[in-house]
Amino acid sequence: MTSVLVIDDHPIVLQGCRRLLEDAGIEKVLEASSVLAGYRLFRRERPDVVIVDLALQGNGLGGIQLVRRLRTHNARLPILVFSMHGDPVIASRALEAGADGYVLKDTSSGALLEAFERVRRGQPYISPDLATQVAMLSARKDTPLAAITQRELQTLALLAEGRDYGQIAEELGVSYKTVANTCSQLKVKLGAASLPELVRRAIQYVTTAPTTAGRAGRVL
């Protein structure tokens, strides 16, 4: 019996994935709506495949850290990222963390199933509109996010969500001073003269249109 764990904080996405997978013959579909719940369910149930979003309940891009953690526990676990983030740098970071596949949330049901089946068989998959961009990243010099670290990327994502330094520090488990220093480094790397400008850059580079019924409905 094949079991799949879907980790996403949007009920419509969870419902759509469950319906799609069950229609495709998957016997057991597990659901979690946060990083912690997903990790605990993974440890308890040991699913055959994990499908995970990157932006989970105010954790910025905490899904990347979750992918890395899952990978440390099971080097052969098929992991598919199902995300609204279409920036090739973010996709590349997810793959580097240990994801086997990366598919965008505005994809069709057929494409999501294809990605799932490929990853389940141990084959890599990335959305066609991202594949070339990811492959060319190493040769690109003009990608704003290319020079930032994983911690800086997560900090940027939390800034884009409207978090202040104190909230970011609590979320990441670091000091207020560490967050302030990280943001100072981000200002330099992204050419932002002030914090409000850095927040605008964060929104520009990291966020996309919200995952609402209109977007998530493609998998229903």
**166 beta partners:** none
Domain limits, the chain? 3-138+209-219, 150-206
Residue 140 is predicted with a pLDDT of: 55
Indicate the CATH number for domain 150-206.
Answer: 1.10.10.10
| Alpha-carbon span 51 to 37, nearest angstrom | 14
Residue 181 is predicted with a pLDDT of: 92
What is the CA 131 to chain-centroid distance, rounded? Answer: 16
* Mean pLDDT per 10-residue segment, the chain (220 residues): 93 93 95 92 96 77 87 94 86 89 90 94 86 64 70 83 86 89 90 86 63 38
Indicate the CATH number for domain 3-138+209-219.
Answer: 3.40.50.2300
Residue 90 is predicted with a pLDDT of: 86
